[in-house]
Each structure stands twice: as structure tokens, then as C-alpha cells.
Amino acid sequence: MRPIIALTGDSMVAPSPVINLNYADMAPNMIKNAIVKVGGAPLILPYPEDDAVSETLAQQYVAVFDGLVLPGGPDVDPTFYHEEPIQAMGRATYQKDQFEIALIKATLEAKKPIFAICRGIQILNVALGGTLYQDLPSQNPKATIRHSQAAPGQWPTHHVAITPGSHLASLMGTSSYVNSRHHQAVKAVAPDLQVTAQAPDGVVEAVESKDSDLILGVQWHPENMWSSFPDQLPLFSDIVKRVGGEADE
């Protein structure tokens, strides 16, 4: 039986409040396709509009799935790491952030693995006590690489150096050529996480658990690349293996 790999959902944002009454919850097709490709069964988890039920829903959802993928998406509300929003920050969704933080904590409490992508690595870091650059270009003068690429999203544009001996290195080696589509990034790393990949300008590109194999997060978008760059597919095989399943290679 295929292990169930959950993905947190997002919502379509429309200018009309009438349209917003009928939005559909969604998740990236390319992540769903990658999970199916490696032998998993994807399941989309919508976030509640009523943030008062976030923790209850998170606990119920955790009982259903085997592993969790946190996809990319909007900016993370900085009030969750005790900052006010700066002018350069983009759209954030408070209810989504609150739900995902509750879900991350419930998943780790249940000893189930997490794979985080782009925004996913950011909300993961915040959930565990870390902080973010709300906007790299304006807040980090050392971030000299273009992290929000102009090239089509499926093509790599910069390299990352991966820490030898890390779990990520066992999947990809000590270097990878990746795509880049973000303006926020990990700033202060959460106490339970360790950095295992960086861009040439020092921006954090991957984190892992310090004391277990429960967490792996990357700042790039392997779901956009794996069909043309097969070295990215092991990131999805890995979440299936970490839940005890047999991944299709």
C-alpha cells in the first residue's frame, strides 16, 4: 500500500470578495505528480478559515497521513516571530500560517517526517523558534545573488554547497544547481535545526533535524525540476523512505 503523503493547501486570492466566497483549495500539481512518481499517495490538507480550530484539525489530520510536505506559497506573517511587517513584505495569510505551525508541531510530536519546500522551510523554521528575512534585497546586503530568478521556474540559475556527511548530501552529493524563486529566507536558525546547504552568498538553502531524520527542508523548488533534472527526484523518494515505504526510483 502506498504511504499517504500530505500536502498543505493554499487558496486562490481574487480581488472580488464575492469570488473569494467560492475559492478552491489547491496544491502544486508538480508536487502531487512527484509523490505519485516515487510511490506515495498525495493528500491535500486545506487550512481552516477559523484559526481557533487549527490545533484540533492538525491533530486529526496527523492521524491520517504518514509524512508531510510543506509546499511553497505566500510570505510568512512576521508577527509569528515577533516582528512587524516591513514595506517590502508580500502577501501573507495569517490563518494558513497558524494552521501550518500547529500541523508542524503535531507532526513532529507524532514522530512523522517532514519535507519542506521554499516557503515550507521558512514556516518550518518559524514554527520551531527561528526567524526570517522578510525581504532579502532590503534586509541582507550580503545576499548578492538573484534569489527571485527571471528565468522560467523549471530551470536552475545558481549553485548551492551541501554539507558533507549531511542527509541531504547522501541524496544529492555536495553540490547542486538549483532554481530560485523567493525573497524571504531563513535568518536565525531554529534551535533544533542545522543548516546543510548554502548559496554562494551565504543564504540558507537547506536545513535538517539535529538529532533525527524527521526534517529536511530546501529553499529551492525541486518539484519544478525533477522531470528534466532527475537528481532532484530523490528528495521526494526520501520522504517515502523516511515513512518506511518503498520508493520507486
CATH of domain 4-242: 3.40.50.880
Instruction: State the Rg of the chain over Cα.
Output: 17
Helices (H) and strands (E) in the chain, counts: 8, 13
Phi-psi region of 148 (alpha: psi -120 to 50; beta: other; left: phi over 0): beta
Q: Which amino acid is at 208?
A: E
pLDDT value at position 107?
Answer: 98
Q: What are the E-state strand segments in 98-169?
A: 114-117, 132-133, 158-162
Task: Please identify every stretch of the chain with a pLDDT value under 70, giving residue numbers as ranges.
Answer: 12-24, 249
DSSP string, 72-87: --SBPPGGGGT-PPPT
pLDDT value at position 23?
Answer: 67
Q: Which of 118, 158, 183, 205 is catalytic?
A: 118
DSSP 8-state secondary structure symbol assigned to residue 3: P
Known active-site residue 118: yes
pLDDT value at position 51?
Answer: 79
Q: Which of 147, 158, 183, 221 is catalytic?
A: 221
Closest listed residue to residue 119, CA positions, set 79, 76, 160, 178: 76
DSSP element (H, E) containing 57 = helix 54-62
Known active-site residue 221: yes
pLDDT value at position 50?
Answer: 84
Q: Which of 100, 205, 208, 223 is catalytic?
A: 223
pTM comes to 0.95
Q: What is the pLDDT of residues 69-116, one digit of tens each?
A: 999 999 999 999 999 999 999 999 999 999 999 999 999 999 999 999
pLDDT value at position 191?
Answer: 98
How far apart CA 207 and CA 197 sit, in angstroms, is 7
For residues 195-219, one letter each, b for 16 or more C-beta atoms within 10 angstroms of the residue's C-beta and e for the rest, the string is ebbbbeeebbbbbbbeeeebbbbbb
Helix (H), strand (E), coil (C) string for 215-233? EEEECCCHHHCCCCCHHHC
pLDDT value at position 49?
Answer: 83
Closest listed residue to residue 69, CA positions, set 94, 109, 110, 40: 40
